[in-house]
Amino acid sequence: DSDDTRVMLDALAALGCGLRREGDVLHVTGLGGRLAVHEARLFLGNAGTAMRPLAAALAVLAATQGGRFELGGVPRMHERPIGDLVDAVRQLGAQVEYLGNAGFPPLKMAPAVLKEVAEVTVKGNVSSQYLTGILLSAPLLGREVTVKVDGELISKPYVEITLNLMKRFGVTVQRNGWESFVVP
């Protein structure tokens, strides 16, 4: 229970996910890859672990399903870089606009026509959260995507957590060391 988890849960609820508490257990019902809400402004405080995966997923969903989303937070969040992640989703054809300074939140996602690319490159030496965001959003594309890592990947244990989580949900990612990942 923290500010980061609270803003993430608020964002998921605003997007239409089901949240049900049973004592210390929280049951989250996802959206099955289909938007329940096509327009939302999400306040993510200073939670980079909410901002980065949501930015990637909502960029893809906005493009493929006609959504319009704004993601922002506290002033400090708007000083935290996100440009490398935005560059990665733009490689897919997603439309992401900076509402303040280029390379930083707040962000706006809008409908777009995704490219039929089979490869996306993510810088590995900045934040593993960028790679995590791309890996988690790739299955939403409905086609196989190779995610290449440019440079040395930092925070490998966090990427391993992402891959294990994806496997628990039925997405087995083929890994070529830490250089590239094939997402079915």
Give the integer Cα–Cα distance in Å for 109 and 23: 36
Give the integer Cα–Cα distance in Å for 115 and 31: 24
Q: What is the pTM of this model?
A: 0.94
Q: Mean pLDDT across the stretch 46-74?
A: 96
CA count, 13 A, side-chain hemisphere, 145:
27
Residue 118: pLDDT band (50, 70, 90) is confident
pLDDT of 114 reads: 86
